[in-house]
Amino acid sequence: LCIHKIISMFFVIFCVLSTTLTAIMQIDDLAEVDYSLSGLPTVFQTFIDLDLKGVVFPAGNHTDSPYMAASFTIPDHSDSMLYLAFSEYFFQSSSFAYYTAGAFNMTIADETCSFFNINTEIFSSIIPEVAKYSVTPYPVMLKLMSAEIPIISLQQDSFMVEIQGSVEVLAILPDSTTQSLFTLNIAANTSISLNIFDQKLMGSLCLNR
């Protein structure tokens, strides 16, 4: 019991000192996460509670996200050595950081489209107006752009992701210039469920609209 108290005391002292430090880790070239302690740890007889900030920022730009962090509790279980819980705010700040860094704006090159046999002829059969601008089949490229920050919300057993954006289809002409054919606005609501099956984390995706 005395050893337990001594270890707990040193641990609390260490955490008190840690609260004055900023712990930032680079996730990738676009974002980094601040996982500093947000308060003093709570030490119990059989376990310790640690509250970490878990705020994701654009790399090198600690701009506050437009979301507010809400407190939450972990279900009272004691049959495992470690429990980790991620708040909705963590995913919301991640979405804001990657949106600010431009991660949701991308171009799908003509090589990729050609691999899947996507060209102006396919779009001409769907949208007759395209045939007026492109009689000869040309390769295409796609520009994907996010119009707003993707909204992520946590449900009882799944994620809900709302995305608003657009897809611009451009024809690549023989002189390597591009000509915009049309732009398609997109509003999607998607559910993502995670399950552990055969010791593997599996995900399922459902497009609601």
Q: For residue 57, is pLDDT > 60? A: yes
Structure tokens at 82: 């470690």
Among the CATH numbers 3.40.50.150, 1.25.40.340, 3.15.20.10, 3.90.1300.10, which is that of 104-209?
3.15.20.10
Mean pLDDT of the 23-30 span = 86
Read off the tokens for 18.
């840690």
Q: Domain residue spans in the chain? A: 1-69+76-102, 104-209
Looking at every residue in the chain, the average pLDDT score rounds to 78
* Mean pLDDT confidence for 131-144: 80
17 three-state secondary structure? helix
Provide the whole-model pTM: 0.73
pLDDT digits (tens, 9 = 90+) for 66-99: 888 777 777 777 677 777 778 888 889 999 999 9
Binned at pLDDT 50, 70 and 90, residue 23 comes out as confident
Mean pLDDT, residues 17-33: 75
Q: How many beta carbons lie within 10 A of that of residue 41, not counting itself? A: 17
Residue matched to tokens 């601008």 = 133
Average the pLDDT over 154-183 and give the result: 86
CA 166/CA 153 separation, integer angstroms: 22
The pLDDT of residue 8 is: 55
